[in-house]
């Protein structure tokens, strides 16, 4: 499983704003929006294109269009804050939704929404979730996608924990991870350290 860490200075600066406990919800959401643009930009670097001829006001030119626009899948609730920006960059994309709540005792994902196309064969998929912590929610989501035939799946995350990356690696599922940082570890409550706290609460207030 490939893991790509976006170490661009602008990405680091936005992530720092998100980490800072003094950042209020509005500024946190803005920083996540801006970081999402950078992560999705990198995540689609290898996207297949088809060529087409276009007339500029001056001459004929070879143009490029996405050959296989990805399905965007925000994982609710925290992934909602990445959905619009990913769509802004890829307006041709369709969007599916997965809703998972985390059981705070077992730390296991509890599904409450699954709105995805029946077949994903031949479709690229970008899963949007700011936090890759234990990897349980991401594994659950990737399995839903793989069961529908997806084989080209990218998890786009602001932050990842080494435990979550390892969990996904061991799952053997067909995916790669694009993130702005792999942090130190998970704490006993399943939070990423140093992390940024609860990404849902930081965007929308406590649930
Ligand atoms: N989910 C979050 O929002 N934050 C963490 O640190 C871990 C999981």
Query: Does residue 166 carry a pLDDT above 90?
Result: yes
CA-to-CA distance for 12 and 172, rounded, in angstroms? 30
| Residue 108 pLDDT level (bands cut at 50, 70, 90) | confident
Ligand 1, atom 4, residue with closest C-alpha:
198
pLDDT tens per residue, range 49-86: 999 999 999 999 999 999 999 999 999 999 999 999 99
pTM, full prediction: 0.95
CA distance 98 to 78: 11
Atom of ligand 1 nearest to the CA of 200: 3
Q: What is the model's pLDDT at position 67?
A: 96
Q: Assess whether the C-beta atom of 39 lies below 6 angstroms from ligand 1.
A: no
With a cut of 90, say whether residue 22 has pLDDT above it.
yes
Q: 169-200: string of b/e by CB count within 10 Å (b at 16+)?
A: eebebebbbbbbbbbeebeeebbbeebbebbb
Tell me the average pLDDT of the chain: 96
> Which domains are assigned to the chain?
3-204 (3.40.50.2020)
- Assigned token pair, 154: 């990218």
Determine whether the shortest distance from the Cβ of 133 to ligand 1 is under 6 A. yes
Q: Is residue 109's pLDDT more than 80?
A: yes
Q: Is 75 in the pocket of ligand 1 (CB under 6 A)?
A: no
Kindly give, in sequence order, each residue whose CB lies less than 8 Å from that of residue 137, ignoring residues fewer than 6 positions away. 75, 100, 102, 109, 129
Instruction: Give the distance, in angstroms, between the CA of residue 42 and the centroid of all CA atoms in the same chain.
Output: 11
CA distance 188 to 204: 24
- The pLDDT of 5-13, averaged and rounded, is 98
Helix (H, G, I), strand (E, B) or coil at 4: strand
Question: Alpha-carbon distance 171 to 135, whole Å?
Answer: 10
Spacing, Cα 195 to ligand 1 middle (Å): 8
Sign of CA dihedral 124, 144, 3, 156: positive
Tens digit of each residue's pLDDT (9 = 90 or more) over 119-161: 999 999 999 999 999 999 999 999 999 999 999 999 999 999 9
pLDDT at 101: 83
Residue that is written with structure tokens 């990356």 in the block: 165
Q: Is the pLDDT of residue 102 over 80?
A: no
Which of 62, 7, 20 has the alpha carbon at shortest distance from 182?
Answer: 7
| pLDDT over threshold 90, residue 106 | no
């Amino acid at each position: 499983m490939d893991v790509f860490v976006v170490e661009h200075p602008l990405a680091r600066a936005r992530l720092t704003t998100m980490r800072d406990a003094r950042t209020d919800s509005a500024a946190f959401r803005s920083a996540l929006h801006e970081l999402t643009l950078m992560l999705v930009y990198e995540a689609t670097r290898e996207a297949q294109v088809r060529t087409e001829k276009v007339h500029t006001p001056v001459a004929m030119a070879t143009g490029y269009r996405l050959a296989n626009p990805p399905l965007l899948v925000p994982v609710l609730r925290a992934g909602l804050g990445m959905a619009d920006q990913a769509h802004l960059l890829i307006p041709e994309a369709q969007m599916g939704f997965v809703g998972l709540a985390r059981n705070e005792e077992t730390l296991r994902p509890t599904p409450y929404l699954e709105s995805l196309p029946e077949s994903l064969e031949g479709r690229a998929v970008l899963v949007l979730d700011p936090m890759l912590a234990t990897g349980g929610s991401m594994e659950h989501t990737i399995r839903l996608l793989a069961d529908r035939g997806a084989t080209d799946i990218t998890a786009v995350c602001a932050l990842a924990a080494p435990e979550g990356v390892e969990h996904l690696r061991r799952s053997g599922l067909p995916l790669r991870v694009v993130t702005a940082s792999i942090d130190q570890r998970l704490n006993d409550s399943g939070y990423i350290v140093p992390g940024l706290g609860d990404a849902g609460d930081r965007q929308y207030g406590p649930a």
